[in-house]
C-alpha cells in the first residue's frame, strides 16, 4: 500500500507541475498528447473509487501477478477507446478544467485508499481481489503512465526509484524471466513494454528474450 501512495502521489505532483505548452507535447502513449494521458488518469481515479465501492465476500480469484492480460500488439491510440480519450480531453476546453477534475478525483481516490482495509476484497473487471493486491496493480499502472507523462518533457520529475523497481518485478513475472541487470529499471521498463526500441547493446544483453518483446500489459 505504501508504494501505491508513493506512485499515485508522485504522478499527481508531476501533473500539477505541467506548464501550459507541455500539455500538447506527445506522451509516451502512442497517439496521445499529454492532455490525453491526463484524461486517462481521470478514468483511473474513477476506477479506484468504483472498485473500492464494490466490496465482496467472495474468495479472491486473482492475485496482483494474475491481474494482467498480456498482449503483443502495441496500442496506436486510434482504436475506439483511444479516440474517445482524445475527444474527451479536448472537450474540457481548457487544460485547467482537466487538471482540476483529475486533482479532485485523484485526491478522493487517495483518501478512499487510506480508509480501505488491505485484507478486504473487491470486484474489478469480473475479478475478485484483495484490496492490497488491487493496489499493487496500480503501482504498475501509475508508474508506467508516469514514464509516459515525462517521456518527452523536461523539468518534470519522473517515477520513484522503488516504484520503478517494483514495476520491473511485475513485468519480469509476466515475462517469466528476469531482464538483464545491465538495463536500469527505467530502460528495462521502456524497452520491455515497447515504449522505446532497444539499442544494439540492449538487444545483445537481452539475447533470446528480445524475441518475446515487447509485451503489453492490459
Q: How far apart are CA 122 and CA 137, in angstroms?
A: 13
| 62-93 tens-digit pLDDT | 999 889 988 878 888 888 999 999 999 999 99
Distance CA 60, CA 123 (A): 9
Cell 483529475 identifies what position? 102
H-helix segments, 27-94:
34-52, 64-67, 80-91
d(CA 212, CA 189): 14
Q: How many Cβ atoms from other residues are within 10 Å of residue 96's Cβ?
A: 11
Query: For the segment 130-180, what is each residue's pLDDT rounded down to a tens digit?
Result: 999 999 999 999 999 999 999 999 999 999 999 999 999 999 998 889 999
pTM listed for this prediction: 0.95
Give the end-to-end CA distance of the chain in Å, rounded to a whole number. Answer: 21
Amino acid at each position: 500500500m505504501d508504494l501505491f501512495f508513493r506512485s499515485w502521489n508522485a504522478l499527481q505532483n508531476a501533473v500539477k507541475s505541467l506548464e501550459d505548452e507541455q500539455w500538447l507535447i506527445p506522451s509516451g502513449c502512442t497517439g496521445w498528447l499529454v492532455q490525453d494521458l491526463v484524461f486517462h488518469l481521470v478514468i483511473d481515479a474513477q476506477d479506484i473509487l468504483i472498485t473500492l465501492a464494490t466490496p465482496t465476500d467472495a474468495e479472491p480469484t486473482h492475485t496482483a501477478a494474475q491481474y494482467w492480460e498480456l498482449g503483443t500488439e502495441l496500442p496506436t491510440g486510434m482504436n475506439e477507446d483511444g479516440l474517445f480519450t482524445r475527444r474527451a480531453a479536448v472537450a474540457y476546453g481548457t487544460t485547467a478544467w482537466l487538471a482540476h477534475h483529475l486533482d479532485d478525483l485523484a485526491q478522493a481516490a487517495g483518501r478512499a485508499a487510506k480508509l480501505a482495509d488491505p485484507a478486504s476484497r473487491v470486484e474489478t473487471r469480473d475479478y475478485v481481489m484483495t484490496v492490497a493486491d488491487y493496489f499493487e496493480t496500480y503501482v504498475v499502472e501509475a508508474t508506467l503512465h508516469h514514464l509516459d507523462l515525462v517521456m518527452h518533457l523536461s523539468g518534470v520529475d519522473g517515477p520513484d526509484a522503488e516504484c520503478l523497481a517494483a514495476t520491473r518485478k511485475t513485468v519480469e513475472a509476466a515475462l517469466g524471466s528476469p531482464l538483464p541487470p545491465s538495463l536500469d529499471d527505467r530502460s528495462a521498463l521502456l524497452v520491455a513494454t515497447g515504449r522505446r526500441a532497444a539499442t544494439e547493446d540492449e538487444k545483445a544483453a537481452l539475447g533470446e528474450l528480445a524475441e518475446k518483446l515487447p509485451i503489453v500489459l492490459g
